[in-house]
Amino acid sequence: MRKLLNTIYVTNELAYLTLDGENLVCKIEGVEKLRIPFENIENIVCFNYTGCSPALMGKCVSKTIPINFMSPQGKFLAKVCGETKGNVFLRVEQIDKFREKGLCLAQSTMAAKFSNTRQLIRRTLHDNADLREDGKIRAVLEVIDSSIEKVFESDSIEEIMGIEGNCAQNYFSVFNSLITNQKVPFTFELRSKRPPLDPINAMLSFVYTLLTVEYASALETVGLDSYIGFCHALRSGRASLACDMVEESRCIAERFVITLLNLQVIGEKDFEKQVSGAIWLNEEGRKKVLSRWQEKKRTDIMHPYLKQKIPLGLLPYVQSNLLAKFVRGELESYPPYLLK
């Protein structure tokens, strides 16, 4: 089992990362602010402009520690990583398997996503009796139930993605009702991605990106190509397989955002509005989200397939390993993550 180490998030836009022996050193305007041994680092995510030294990048490459560069607003820009794990034969098997079983993979992944979305809504209804008779929420649950059935009746990935789009539209139409704390100063009307146009969309996009980066790193770790997917269309520069794998785990990101809002961890002062109308988390907002995200990753969950408890932060690695076993023929089918 992989040891769960730390993801280092660099949120200060003026921070510069450099190397000193076996330590990562973070400096701001030439003053050392942080020093961490490499043995305690698993992944690095930078939201800064100044970047890091070539020596540090070389060290991270030699230790297979990926460095992910993001814009301060949370948009993925680039990644520096070491030698690809695995071998070319696994990559060939991946392409062949996705061509042969892509439809089945898409069906099981999207059905798991819908099922997990349903569980998220039901959990809110369980905790809030006033919502149990909400006609709109009940209608959305019916759409989700029928979507699960329709996915397994589909004969093309394009049809499945159409079902997913309709299901997502219905789900987000009641998302604001899942935020039950009446003191939350934000409302959610519809999903806006590029760019997010309200604080809740900004939080969703930010956490989705974090989760996608973690899945991309996990896939590379087990030897799979994160850019060759089975559901999302192939596109230069996009980790399509990571996007595929995130689908079944989006409920975790959404539940996390709902919790932060209901607990009023995030407030109006944690966002900034651009001239274009885009809304982004500011530095303080990112720090709050990242701090809670790291805590969330250390909580234990019961994995439905392994039948054992694992830290939530290991979920991308477990699922990536299960997919690799399927690609190699060690499993007859890929078991997606199902929320219980």
User: pLDDT tens, 50-75?
Assistant: 778 889 888 888 887 888 787 766 66
Residues 68 and 109 in one domain: no
Cα radius of gyration rounded to whole Å, the chain? 20
Checking if the pLDDT of 145 tops 70, the result is yes
List the structure tokens of 121. Answer: 């809504």
Final residue of a domain: which of 80, 111, 133?
Answer: 80
Within a domain: 161 = yes
pLDDT tens, 300-337? Answer: 889 888 888 888 888 988 898 899 889 988 899 999 99
**CA-to-CA distance for 176 and 184, rounded, in angstroms?**
11
Same domain, 69 and 126: no
180, part of any domain: yes
pLDDT of res. 238: 78
CA angle 40/87/320 to nearest 5° reads 55
Residue 99 and residue 27 share a domain: no
Same domain, 13 and 112: no
Mean pLDDT in residue range 259-267: 91
**Residue 162 lies inside a defined structural domain of this protein:** yes
Categorize the per-residue pLDDT at 33 as very low, low, confident or very high, splitting at 50, 70 and 90: confident
Mean pLDDT of 283-304: 89
The string over 17-45, giving b where at least 16 C-beta atoms fall within 10 Å of a residue's C-beta and e elsewhere, is bebeeebbbbbeeeeeeeeeebeebbbbb
Domain that holds residue 254: 88-327
- The mean pLDDT value for 111-137 works out to 88
Q: Total structural domains in the chain? A: 2
Residue 41 within a domain: yes
C-alpha–C-alpha distance, residues 124 and 297, integer Å: 21
Among 222, 216, 246, 214, CA closest to 90: 222
Does the pLDDT of residue 2 top 60, yes or no?
A: no
Same domain (yes/no): 252, 309 = yes
In Å, what is the CA distance from 214 to each residue of 87, 225, 304?
21, 14, 20
Q: Is residue 175 part of a domain?
A: yes
The pLDDT-based confidence of 108 (bands split at 50, 70, 90) is very high
CA distances from 35 to 9, 46, 56, 113, 142 (A): 13, 16, 13, 40, 52
Task: Give the number of other CB atoms < 10 A from CB of residue 169.
Answer: 13
Residue 241: its pLDDT value, please?
93
pLDDT at 221: 73
For residue 128, is it within any domain? yes
Does one domain contain both 66 and 104? no
Are residues 12 and 64 both part of a single domain? yes
User: Could you give the CA distance from residue 96 to residue 78 in angstroms, rounded to a whole number?
Assistant: 27
Last residue of a domain, one of 54, 80, 106: 80
What amino acid occupies position 106? A
Query: Are both 112 and 257 inside the same structural domain?
Result: yes
Q: Which residue has the higher pLDDT, 338 or 313?
A: 338
CATH code of the domain covering residue 44: 3.100.10.20
If asked whether residues 75 and 92 sit together in one domain, one would say: no
294 and 205 assigned to the same domain: yes
Q: Decide if pLDDT at 84 tops 60.
A: no
Percent of the chain exceeding pLDDT 90 equals 33
The confidence score (pLDDT) of residue 4 equals: 46
Q: Is position 153 within any domain?
A: yes
Average pLDDT for residues 18-35, to the nearest whole number?
Answer: 88
Give the model's confidence band at 80: pLDDT under 50 very low, under 70 low, under 90 confident, else very high: confident
Task: Tell me 223's DSSP state.
Answer: T
How sure is the predictor about 86, in pLDDT bands with cuts at 50, 70 and 90? low
What per-residue confidence (pLDDT) applies to 3?
44
Q: Are 117 and 254 in the same domain? A: yes
CB-based contact 131:188 (threshold 8 Å): no
pLDDT at 1: 33
Q: Which residue has the tokens 């490499």?
A: 38
Is there a single domain that holds both residue 69 and residue 217?
Answer: no
Domain C-terminal end among 80, 113, 143: 80
Give domain status of residue 236, yes or no. yes
Burial 288-326 (b: 16+ CB within 10 A, else e): bbbebbeebbeeebebeeeeeebbbbbbbbbbbbbbbeb
CATH of the domain at 102: 1.20.120.920
CA dihedral for 29, 34, 37, 39, sign (positive or negative): negative
> What confidence tier does 6 reach under pLDDT thresholds 50, 70, 90?
low
User: Among the listed ranges 31-35, 214-218, 220-224, 238-242, which one has the minimum average pLDDT value?
Assistant: 220-224
Confidence of residue 45 (pLDDT cuts 50, 70, 90): confident
